[in-house]
Each structure stands twice: as structure tokens, then as C-alpha cells.
């Protein structure tokens, strides 16, 4: 396994480009199971997760050609079993359930299991497909599901901690080929769902309301192959905005979608960061001492849970006290202990993290526990005094394309070495 070695305290300046959206790419790749036509998807990020999804599609019978930031998917799905060895490595691959049911009328998909950021059940997935007429049961770690013909239905997909992005995606894809009209109330509003809806519509699906709490889908008999360009990754862009603020830098974040980051941008501006739109890019300037501020994560358009850890790294070096609450994944605080190893003063009290800003962080060996926690440790390492070693960076490789190369281009001293 590789590790990152970061020499902190370097001046950062320049341009950093955002890659294609990982969280939108995974369900869109799954959606290609719905057609026998050829699908070309461009601006694909080169990540462990996208490669895993391509392996899964191949195992289901599709032909997948992988090029530089592009995949071409063709052929027919001929296998309804999504194997444990692939699904267990990436929760997002569970979204093949809906397309398999729509295309083959049956599916055997491995349970994705839990995660270090907290338990993420599949109850909303099963509720949604059950409303479409699917019968299912659980055995040996797999979901067995089947239906003679999917039928449109009205359903409510709200959960304890809000809507589910993957459950909404699964139902949208299944309903695209169902008979009749499907109405999803309390649908996830994340930009990734809007992009999936746009992709399906380009294939010939009849979908309205994607990106809102109410999505209406009128099933069609057939979907077609298309050529499609992925939008940029809002979480990667948000990570770079927070990095620039922490490093007191002047950085242009290229291909960043301003309107998808309003909750973060509003918070950064309120604490003293200069953030403004420059065409299709976002400029971040931060030269002064910032003010602390509390955040509470919520489903979109609220503050993203996927930026909570990175925001905590910024607050760790911001004078004063800030309180961070995660309403989406209340247990997503594994990064606290590692940030404290670097000199941060953070404590957890039930479902909140209380951050007392310190003057300086210090380099230390730290362990990445999940994808976004890893990004928080990178931010901390870049602003820390001395050398930081981050272990288990395979988490980073799941969601950030060529992160060490991008950071090097703006002046960071980041090296990838074998553990």
C-alpha cells in the first residue's frame, strides 16, 4: 500500500482542476445496464471506484472499453448476480439492483454492509422497489429480488436522516422501464440525482422533477445508447475551497459548479474567506485570520456531510470554538482522533464535535479511516509544521483523481511512497 508524505507550511498558489463527479458517475454507469445500445461517457474520473464499477458491469455481461477519462459500454446484460467480491468494496455498486430488475426481471445483489462512517441500511431501497411490484428476500448476505413486470406506483422515500441518494437512483432507474407512472415523494435532491435524471432522459426516459423532492417517471419500453459528458465533482471542488482557506492561499478552482456549493460558499464568506465566481471557475482568496462558525450537515441543498471532515480541519486552526453536527451520518467522526494527533483540540460530546482552534498543527503519522477523513488529513498536513505521513491512502484514490499531482502543481510538497 502507498502512503502520502507531506511537508507542511508551503505557499500554495495557482490553478487546480476539478475532475468528473464520482458520485454521479457510479449510478450513471449502472444505468447503462438498461440499454443494449452503445453508451459513451466522457469526463469520467480515473478512480478506484469507477474501475470497480466497470469490473462489475463486465461481470454482468457488458463490454466495457476504458480510455483516458472515457468509457464505452456496449452489449447486453446476461447475468443477474452482482457478486460480493465487487459490491463489498464499494457501496455505490448496490445501485445495479434497479437496472437489473428493470432489464431482466430478477436480481441477486450482495448486501453492501456497513461503513466506518456509520451504518447505512438499505430499507429505503427495498421499500422503493417493493412499491414497484418486486418480491424480495435476504439470504446468505444477498438480496434476492424478482418481478414479472415492474408497475409504476406512488411512494414516499423519506428516512430517519433524510432522503437516500442511492435509493432514489435505484427507483428512478427501475421505474424508467416500468409500466405506468411512478411518483417519488421525498426524493433525494442532490445534484447527482439531477444528473442521473438528465442522463436517463437523454436515453429516452420520461422523467420530470429530478433535483426536487418530487420526481415523476413515466415508464417507456426501451432506452437508447447515447454519448454523454459528466459534470464536475462538487465534493472535490469543495475540498479545494476549504484547502485554499486553510492554507491562506489564492487559488483558482477550475470547472467548479458554484451553484452546487452555495451552502459551503455562504459559510466560507461568513467567516472571512473571499470566494467568488469567475466564469466556470471559483476563485478563493484568504489572507486574514478567520472567525469560527458552527455547521450542521443536511441533505442537499444543506451543508454536505461529505465536506464535514474537511471543514473540521479548517476550524481546527481557526481561533475560537466551533461546533460541528452531522445530521446525515451522526457517527462520522473517526477523523477527530487523527487530527488531535497533529495537535488539534477537538472533543466529541454525543452527536457533536466541539473544536477549539489552535495556533498551529504539527506533522505526525496518521491513519486514513475513510475517503473524506483522508482529505481532511491532507488539508491538515498541508498547513502543519513539519512532516505528515498519511497511511492507507487507498481511501483517497477511491474519490480524488491524481490528488498528489494536482497539489504539487500549486506548490505543495506531497510525495507518494510505499508504506
Catalytic sites, residue numbers: 115
Indicate if the alpha-carbon torsion angle 391, 397, 402, 407 is positive or negative.
Answer: negative
Within the chain, what is the greatest distance between any pair of CA atoms? 64
Separation of alpha carbons 318 and 24, rounded Å: 33
Q: Look up residue 374 and give its three cell numbers.
A: 483522508
Other beta carbons within 10 Å of 376:
29
Closest CA to 329 of 117, 112, 121, 163: 117
C-beta atoms surrounding 214 within 10 Å: 12
β-bridge partners, 113: none
CB 171 within 8 A of CB 145: no
Question: 4 by DSSP, 3-state: which?
Answer: strand
What the block records as the C-alpha cell of 55 is 469490473
Distance separating alpha carbons of residues 277 and 236, to the nearest angstrom: 17
For CA atoms 239, 242, 244, 247, the dihedral sign is negative
Residues ≥6 apart with Cβ < 8 Å to 236: 18, 19, 22, 399, 400
SS3 (DSSP) at 307: helix
Helix, strand, coil % in the chain, rounded to nearest 5: 35, 30, 35
Nearest to 193 by CA among 162, 166, 154: 166
Beta bridge partners of 183: 154, 216
Q: Examine residue 301 and say whether the peptide bond preceding it is cis (omega within 30 degrees of 0).
A: yes
Residue 387 has a CB neighbour count (10 Å cut-off) of: 16
CA distance 346 to 293: 14
Amino acid at each position: 500500500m502507498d502512503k502520502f508524505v507531506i511537508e507542511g507550511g508551503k505557499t500554495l498558489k495557482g490553478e487546480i482542476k476539478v475532475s468528473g463527479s464520482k458520485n454521479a458517475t457510479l449510478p450513471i454507469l449502472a444505468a447503462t445496464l438498461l440499454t443494449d445500445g452503445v453508451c459513451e461517457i466522457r469526463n469520467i474520473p480515473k478512480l478506484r471506484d469507477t474501475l470497480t464499477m466497470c469490473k462489475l458491469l463486465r461481470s454482468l455481461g457488458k463490454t466495457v472499453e476504458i480510455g483516458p477519462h472515457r468509457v464505452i459500454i456496449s452489449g447486453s446484460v446476461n447475468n443477474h448476480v452482482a457478486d460480493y467480491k465487487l459490491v463489498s468494496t464499494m457501496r455505490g455498486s448496490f445501485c445495479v439492483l434497479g437496472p437489473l430488475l428493470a432489464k431482466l426481471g430478477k436480481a441477486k445483489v450482495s448486501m453492501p454492509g456497513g461503513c466506518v462512517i456509520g451504518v447505512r441500511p438499505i430499507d429505503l431501497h427495498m421499500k422503493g422497489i417493493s412499491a414497484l411490484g418486486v418480491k424480495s428476500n435476504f439470504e446468505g448476505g444477498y438480496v434476492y429480488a424478482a418481478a414479472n413486470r415492474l408497475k409504476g406506483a406512488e411512494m414516499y422515500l423519506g428516512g430517519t436522516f433524510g432522503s437516500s441518494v442511492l435509493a432514489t437512483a435505484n427507483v428512478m432507474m427501475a421505474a424508467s422501464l416500468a409500466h405506468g407512472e411512478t411518483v417519488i415523494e421525498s426524493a433525494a435532491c442532490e445534484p447527482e440525482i439531477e444528473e442521473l435524471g438528465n442522463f436517463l432522459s437523454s436515453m429516452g426516459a420520461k422523467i420530470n422533477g429530478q433535483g426536487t423532492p418530487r420526481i415523476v417517471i413515466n415508464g417507456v419500453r426501451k432506452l437508447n445508447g447515447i454519448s454523454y459528458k459528466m459534470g464536475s465533482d462538487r465534493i472535490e471542488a469543495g475540498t479545494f475551497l476549504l484547502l485554499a482557506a486553510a492554507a491562506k492561499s489564492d487559488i483558482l478552482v477550475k470547472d467548479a459548479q458554484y451553484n452546487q456549493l452555495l451552502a459551503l460558499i455562504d459559510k466560507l464568506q461568513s467567516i472571512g474567506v473571499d470566494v467568488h465566481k469567475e466564469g466556470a471557475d471559483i476563485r478563493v482568496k484568504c489572507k486574514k485570520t478567520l472567525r469560527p462558525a458552527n455547521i450542521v450537515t443536511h441533505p442537499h441543498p444543506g451543508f454536505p456531510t461529505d465536506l464535514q471532515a474537511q471543514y473540521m480541519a479548517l476550524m481546527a486552526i481557526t481561533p475560537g470554538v466551533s461546533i460541528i453536527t452531522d445530521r446525515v451520518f451522526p457517527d462520522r467522526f473517526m477523523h477527530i482522533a487523527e487530527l488531535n494527533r497533529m495537535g488539534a483540540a477537538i472533543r466529541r460530546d454525543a452527536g457533536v464535535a466541539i473544536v477549539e482552534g489552535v495556533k498551529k498543527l504539527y506533522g505526525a503519522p496518521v491513519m486514513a479511516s475513510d475517503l473524506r477523513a483522508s482529505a481532511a488529513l491532507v488539508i491538515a498536513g498541508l498547513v502543519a509544521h513539519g512532516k505528515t505521513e498519511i497511511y492507507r491512502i487507498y481511501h483517497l484514490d477511491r474519490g480524488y483523481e491524481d490528488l498528489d499531482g494536482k497539489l504539487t502543481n500549486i506548490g505543495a510538497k506531497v510525495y507518494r511512497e510505499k508504506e
